[in-house]
């Protein structure tokens, strides 16, 4: 199998994360990737953004937020909140590809990373919080329906120690810490954007080597105030995201994504689309009630077993 069978894959289950996936795709194009770009979406995504995704990604793959079979397992676990985790696992069903790299929608590619396809399943970079675990925002995998089923089975019996996909995948691919150093991606392939403790000196020394930045945590780049006139993003007061990385995300967003958004869209997307010289001040921070509405929608889908 050559390059055709290889793809970068991301996931978005709501309109806000679509913004991340569009910037991510654009960042991959800018570094001249030769691989295909795939996004997994759920039916929660609005029609106008689906259109945006189709123009940027080679393959838009609709997956169930939660299939009824998964739902039964989750009920057994008493953990219906794991739906998003399970959605990520759908990547193992993309068997039209021989090998893939999964990237969270809150990652940003700075330099070409096509060499990742030389690695085998399961390759990932150490987690900055607990380096004996890998971070599950960036990983190399081989689609295989049996792996998908066995991951679901594993989740139903073992669960996940952090309530997310990272805990599950680390338990499942549990030989990662010790078996084969080639499955350890360099940290520069998944650099956390929040400097802490010993981090600033490393960041300074190795900044030119960084290939992928990951905006982990509750506040994502699209929630930070941006001023269209000055072209500058101001990190939120409580955010510890590196200002330079945030700025890079916004530069790509304003150059390539914002002009393609539909100004008549509702909520966050409409407000971002409306940014202009005449309306320069950012209003991108998602109002709390919008976030809560998303949660209510997800919970309802879970209860209906979707
Ligand atoms: N995700 C999604 N919808 C959600 C939450 C997460 O589509 O409501 C996807 C998205 O690709 C995201 C990934 O799951 O990047 C992991 O979540 P997140 O990046 O928020 O976790 P963190 O990296 O902050 O731990
Ligand atoms: Mn992430």
* Grouped pLDDT means (10 residues each) for the chain, 306 residues: 80 95 98 98 94 98 69 59 77 97 98 98 95 96 96 80 84 96 97 76 90 92 91 85 93 97 91 90 55 46 42
Sheet holding 107-109: strands in order across?
107-109, 212-214, 191-192
Taking CA atoms only, the protein residue closest to ligand 1 atom 22 is: 216
Q: Which residues pair with residue 41 across a beta bridge? A: 12, 62
Q: Would you say the C-alpha torsion 178, 179, 180, 183 has a positive or negative sign?
A: negative
CB atoms within 10 A of CB 125: 24
Q: Which atom of ligand 1 is nearest to the CA of 166?
A: 25
How far away, in angstroms, is 177 Cα from ligand 1 center? 24
pLDDT for the residue 305:
40
Taking CA atoms only, the protein residue closest to ligand 1 atom 16 is: 104
CB atoms within 10 A of CB 181: 6
Structure tokens at 49: 């953004």
Taking CA atoms only, the protein residue closest to ligand 1 atom 21 is: 216
pLDDT for the residue 3:
57
Domains annotated for the chain, with CATH where assigned, are 1-306 (3.90.550.10)
Residue 300, CA distances (Å) to 11, 117, 210 in order: 20, 39, 40
**Could you give phi then psi for residue 135, rounded to 5 degrees?**
-90, 135
**Which residues are CB-neighbours of 17 under 8 A, at least 6 positions away?**
11, 105, 106, 220
Taking CA atoms only, the protein residue closest to ligand 1 atom 10 is: 105
By most ligand atoms within 8 Å of CB, the mutation choice from 10, 13, 298 for ligand 1 is: 13
Pocket of ligand 1 (CB under 6 A): 10-14, 17, 84, 88, 104-106, 137, 216-217
pLDDT for the residue 295:
44
How far away, in angstroms, is 63 Cα from ligand 2 center? 19
pLDDT for the residue 77:
58
Place of tokens 């069903």: 93
Place of tokens 């967003």: 253
pLDDT for the residue 266:
87
pLDDT for the residue 303:
47
Spatial distance between the Cα atoms of 156 and 206, rounded to a whole number of angstroms: 41
Burial class (CB in 10 A: 0-12, 13-18, 19+), 237: exposed
pTM of the predicted structure, to 2 decimals? 0.90
């Amino acid at each position: 199998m050559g390059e055709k069978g290889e793809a970068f894959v991301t996931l978005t289950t709501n309109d806000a994360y679509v913004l991340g996936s569009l910037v991510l795709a654009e960042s991959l194009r800018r570094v001249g990737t030769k691989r295909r770009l795939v996004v997994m979406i759920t039916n929660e995504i609005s029609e106008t953004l689906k259109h945006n995704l189709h123009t940027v990604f080679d393959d838009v793959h609709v997956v169930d937020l939660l299939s009824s079979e998964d739902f039964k397992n989750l009920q057994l676990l008493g953990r219906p909140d794991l739906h998003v985790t399970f959605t990520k696992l759908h990547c193992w069903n993309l068997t039209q590809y021989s090998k893939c790299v999964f990237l969270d929608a809150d990652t940003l590619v700075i330099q070409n990373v096509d060499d990742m396809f030389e690695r085998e399943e399961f390759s990932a970079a150490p987690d900055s919080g607990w380096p004996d675990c890998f971070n599950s925002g960036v990983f190399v995998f081989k689609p295989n329906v049996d792996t998908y089923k066995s991951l679901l089975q594993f989740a139903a019996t073992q669960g996940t120690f952090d309530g997310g996909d990272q805990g599950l995948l680390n338990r499942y691919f549990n030989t990662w810490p010790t078996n084969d150093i080639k499955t350890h991606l360099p940290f520069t392939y998944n650099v956390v954007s929040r400097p802490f403790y010993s981090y600033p000196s490393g960041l300074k020394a190795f900044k030119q080597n960084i290939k992928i930045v990951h905006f982990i945590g509750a506040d994502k780049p699209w929630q930070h105030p941006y001023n269209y006139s000055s072209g500058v993003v101001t990190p939120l007061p409580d955010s510890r995201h590196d200002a330079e990385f945030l700025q890079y995300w916004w530069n790509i967003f304003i150059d390539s994504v914002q002009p393609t958004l539909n100004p008549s869209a509702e909520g966050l997307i409409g407000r971002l689309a409306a940014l202009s010289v005449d309306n320069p001040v950012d209003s991108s921070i998602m109002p709390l009630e919008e976030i809560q509405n998303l949660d209510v929608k997800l919970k309802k889908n879970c209860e209906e077993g979707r």
